[in-house]
Amino acid sequence: MTAPGTAPLVHTAELRTWFTLRKWGFLRAGTVHALDGVSFDLARGEAVAIVGESGCGKSTLARTLLGLDRPTSGEVAIAGTPLGTMDKDAMRRLRATVGYVQQDPYAALPPFMSVATILAEPLRIHGLSHGRDRLTAALEEVGLTPAAEFLEKFPHMLSGGQQQRVVIARALILEPALIIADEPVSMLDASVSAGILRLLRRIQQSRSLTLVFITHNLATVRHFADRIFVMYAGRFVETGPTEALLDAPQHPYTQALLAAIADPDPDNADHDRAVPDSEPPSLINPPPGCRFHPRCPHAMPGLCDRDDPPAFQPRPSQTSWCWLHR
Long-range pairs for 61-66 at CB < 8 Å and ≥24 separation? 61/15, 61/17, 61/35, 61/214, 61/231, 62/100, 62/180, 62/182, 62/212, 62/214, 63/17, 64/15, 64/17, 64/35, 65/10, 65/98, 65/178, 65/180, 65/212, 66/98, 66/100, 66/180
Distance, CA of 121 to CA of 53 (rounded, Å): 34
Distance, CA of 323 to CA of 124 (rounded, Å): 53
Determine whether 100 is exposed, middle or buried from the number of CB atoms within 10 Å of its CB (0-12, 13-18, 19+): buried
- Cβ neighbors of 176 (< 8 A, separation 6 or more) are 96, 97, 98, 99, 209
Distance, CA of 179 to CA of 47 (rounded, Å): 9
Q: Identify whether the C-beta of residue 285 lies closer than 8 Å to the C-beta of residue 201.
A: no
- What is the model's pLDDT at position 262? 60
Domains and CATH numbers, the chain: 10-325 (3.40.50.300)
Q: What's the whole-model pTM score? A: 0.90
Quick one: angle between helices 88-97 and 115-125, nearest 10? 130
Distance, CA of 312 to CA of 251 (rounded, Å): 10
Per DSSP, the chain holds a count of helices (H) and strands (E) of 10, 12
Distance, CA of 237 to CA of 51 (rounded, Å): 10
Residue range 146-186, pLDDT digits in tens: 999 999 999 999 999 999 999 999 999 999 999 999 999 88
Quick one: angle between helices 160-172 and 190-207, nearest 10? 20
Task: Find the helix or strand (DSSP H, E) in which 10 lies.
Answer: strand 10-23
User: b/e for 143-162, b at 16 or more Cβ within 10 A?
Assistant: bbeebeebbeeebeebebbb
- What is the model's pLDDT at position 264? 47
Low-confidence ranges of the chain (pLDDT < 70): 1-5, 262-277
> Smallest Cα–Cα separation from 211: which of 176, 242, 244?
176
What is the DSSP secondary-structure string of 76-123?
A: EEETTEEGGG--HHHHHHHHHHEEEE-S-HHHHS-TTS-HHHHHHHHH
- What is the model's pLDDT at position 205? 93
